[in-house]
Structure 1
Amino acid sequence: MKIVLVGKNGLLGRECLLVLNRAHDLVALGSRELDITDAVQVEEAVRRYQPEVLINCAAYTRVDAAEQERELAYRVNVVGPRNLAASLARHGGTLLHISTDSVFDGERPVPEPYGEDDAVGPLSYYSQTKVASETVVKQELSHYIIVRTAWVYGLHGPNFLKTMLRLALSNPKPRIKVVNDQFGSLTWSYRVAEQLARIIEAGGQGIYHATAEGYATWFEVADYFLRRMGIEIQINPCTTAEYQTPAKRPKNSILENRRLKDQGLNLMRPWKTDLDEFIARYREVLLQEAMITAARS
């Protein structure tokens, strides 16, 4: 299958590059090769490569910074997907667009999950741009795939687990407080990439949720991760109210992979199972990177 991947250098993009190169005719583009906010560049790229599927892993993901950098967040997260969708509508092809758990308000009682058809209710400006991105994709295209994932980690790029490891290895050791009243499903970027490939190869359409099975709080995730990494450090649970951030976040980010399961496509595994495999593969690499980063800070 002819696939164009944009956002190849991001956390998920790099995993998609690895997974999709195995069985598909893949063209991978970073921001230097394609600025998705430039409609002319997008039109030229779609006309040149004529993809059957275009995967959009490009996104503005700095949730707190988006409260101030609103114009940039809007251009990347809304104008970019609109350009991609509009061009594919003219030339043919399916857009696979990555979205997020934070399109929901998180007010549902834990552990009741959100399904694909539940009403959205964004709390932050970043979340508003992601809701808007879904809307423009659906407006421009009759054939699209929107995949909502959550709490993504991986080997490449910054993420929550790397931050916890860097803090734990810092000298002097800080007092680490981690929120213990926000719930979600820690999800491995590699597994998401495999899931995207499965959806594409099955000819999927519409909105899908793709997160790891099971759920935990950020504190529970940090505690489990550091113990499995062999790091002995005390971390303290706190409430969202005690750990204020510029952007408001949902307390319940648990998603149900309902459509994947209904269609027999679900590849997502329990979050601890995937995290254990991730650590087994990359523990030494993660430690080395974190020690270098901690020494510089």
Structure 2
Amino acid sequence: MNIVITGAGGQLGQDCLNILGIVHRVQGYTSRQLDITNTQQVLKEISRVQPDTLINCAAYTAVDNCEKDQERCRAVNELGAANLAAASAAIGCRLIHVSTDYVFDGNKPVPEPYTEQDPVSPLSAYGRTKLAGEQAVARHLDKYLILRTAWLYGIGGNNFLKTMLRLATSDPKRTIRVVDDQHGSLTWSMTLARQIERLLSSDLSGVVHATAENSSTWFGGAQYFLETMGVDFSLEPCTTADYPTPAHRPTNSILENSRLKKHGLHVMQDWQQDIHDFVDRYREDLLEEASA
């Protein structure tokens, strides 16, 4: 299969390149190599390469910065998605578009998860533009898969777990305050890449949830990760109100992978197993990066 990956410089894009490249012919584009906000450039390049499947991992994911730079946020998350969908429609290829848990308002009682059938109601500019991107994809295409994931981390790029490790190792006596009233599923980008690989051989379409199984809070996730890393640390739980941010975040970000399970396509792991495997594979690399 001939595959194009946009956002190939990010943590999911890198893992998709590595996983899918074993079997398939894969062309990856970073944001510098392909500006997805440029309508003509996208159409020209996708028409030239003629992929069977286009996987869009590109997004403006700095949730708080999205509040300050809503024009850029909209350009990447909405217009970029629309451009890729239009180009996919023009050549007849399938589009797998990665989206987010932040399309929900989080008002469901914890631990009740959100399914693909639940109504959306984003709280932030990031969530609103990602939802608009989903809607643009659905308008342009019949052959599409919108893959909502959450709380993503991996070896490439910056993420929550790397930040926790850097803070803990830079000063083990320092007490790190971590939000303990937002609930979701920390999801390893490598596992998500394997899930995408599984979906390539299916004809499933529409909206699909794909996060790690079960849930924690940011505090619980940080604690389990640092314990698994075997480093000294001091954490203290705090509330969202104690740690105000420009963007409002949902209290409940737990997603249920209903459709993957229904169609026998589910390969996502428990969030703790994901972290265990991540640390087992990258522990020394993570420690080296944290101390740099």
> TM-score per shorter chain, which class?
over 0.9
How much has 1:23 moved relative to structure 2? 1.2
Normalized against structure 2, the TM-score is what?
0.98
Residue of structure 1 in register with 2:28 after alignment: 28
Distance 2:113 2:105 in 1: 12
Q: Alignment partner of 2:219: what SS?
A: helix
Q: Alignment partner of 2:54: what SS?
A: strand
Residue of structure 1 in register with 2:146 after alignment: 146
Q: Alignment partner of 1:64: what SS?
A: helix
- Residue pairs, 1:76-225, within 5 angstroms: 76-171=76-171, 173-225=173-225
How much has 1:203 moved relative to structure 2? 2.2
Residue of structure 2 in register with 1:42 after alignment: 42
Distance 1:152 1:267 in 2: 16
Distance 2:149 2:168 in 1: 27
| Aligned residue type for 2:186 | L
CA RMSD of aligned residues (A): 1.0
How much has 1:34 moved relative to structure 2? 0.9
Alignment partner of 1:273 is 2:266: no
Distance 2:233 2:39 in 1: 49
Q: Alignment partner of 1:3: what SS?
A: strand
Residue of structure 2 in register with 1:13 after alignment: 13
Alignment partner of 1:70 is 2:64: no
Unpaired segments ≥5 residues, structure 1: 293-297
How much has 1:174 moved relative to structure 2? 3.3
Dislocated runs of 4+, deviation >3 Å: 171-174
| Aligned residue type for 1:64 | D
Contact preservation (8 Å) 1:150, 1:186: yes
Cα deviation 1:211-261 (Å, max 9, x = unaligned): 011100110111111111111221100111111111000000000000000
Alignment partner of 1:231 is 2:234: no
Distance 1:162 1:88 in 2: 35
Residue identity over aligned pairs, in percent, reads: 53
Distance 1:255 1:20 in 2: 25
Unpaired segments ≥5 residues, structure 2: none
Contact preservation (8 Å) 1:165, 1:290: yes
Distance 1:259 1:5 in 2: 24
Cα deviation 1:169-213 (Å, max 9, x = unaligned): 124843310011110011000000010111121122111100011
Q: Alignment partner of 1:48: what SS?
A: helix
Residue of structure 1 in register with 2:259 after alignment: 259
